[in-house]
Amino acid sequence: MGLDGARVLVVGSGGIGATAVRGYLDAGARVVLVDLDQSRLDTVAAEIAAESDSGDAGARLSTIQADLRVRGAGAAVVGEAIERLGGLDVVLHCVGVNDRRPILDFTDDEWDRVLDINLTTAFAVAQAAGRHMVAQRSGRIVLLSSVSGLLAHKNHAPYAASKGGMNQMARVMAAEWASSGVTVNTLAPGYIETPLTEAYLAKPGIREDLERLVPAGRLGIPSDVVDAALFLSSPRAAFITGHVLYIDGGRTLV
């Protein structure tokens, strides 16, 4: 993939984030992983160190605990990653929460919480990374969106708004930074089996109902998303920017 020696920042250590870290490390990259939850960071780092026969992968991973909802935290994290890695070539933002309730049930604070976590943290990290990448005239930014940014799922209002906003934000970033060799793309998965969806999928009949909506006949797994992220992070995707890539087994076709 041409990612050997790449300097990568992954934001979010959940199911997709942890799988992405392994993918980047397997490709030879050096990775800084950021999350709010220190225990989850420690778990991912320990698992990767244990999985590496030579210990090399574990040595190429470092972690930062940070609350990216705090103003200025995104820029601070990007700055720390650049200092540790000696630069920055790739950013993958895969932080997200959902709150499945009717629109009429949300308070202002509950709405703001989802938008802050899903969209505002992506803006802060991508903006700070963009400043560095535009100056060095190269870089890849990949943001984790969702099919909910396109489809009008009931009981998904703040989540859908955050992902639709992310898609348009990324397109504007892509337009502004393309001449500097910086690409910005979003990945829009359908339902992926991760900790974010685990409880919902465990409810009676939910998994079966969702699988019936997917022409491929199954739900996604984290590696489905990560394979696409690695491609968009690589030199092979140098002429792809401003794109929303649906990873949904055909869900958005029907």
- For the annotated catalytic residues, the residue numbers are 159
Side-chain-side CA neighbours of 193 within 13 Å: the count stands at 9
What is d(CA 184, CA 154) in angstroms, rounded to the nearest whole number?
Answer: 29
- Asked if residues 3 and 85 have their Cβ atoms less than 8 Å apart, the reply is no
Alpha helix positions (H), 144-185: 157-177
160 forms beta bridges with none
Strands 61-65 and 244-247: unpaired
246 forms beta bridges with 188
Residue given tokens 């992968």 in the structure block? 57
Rg of the chain over all Cα atoms, to the nearest angstrom: 17
- Asked if residues 61 and 28 have their Cβ atoms less than 8 Å apart, the reply is no
Cα 254-220-49 angle, rounded to 5 deg: 160
Tell me, what amino acid is at 47?
E
Helix (H) or strand (E) run with residue 83 in it: helix 73-85
Q: Read off φ and ψ for residue 236, nearest 5 degrees.
A: -65, -20
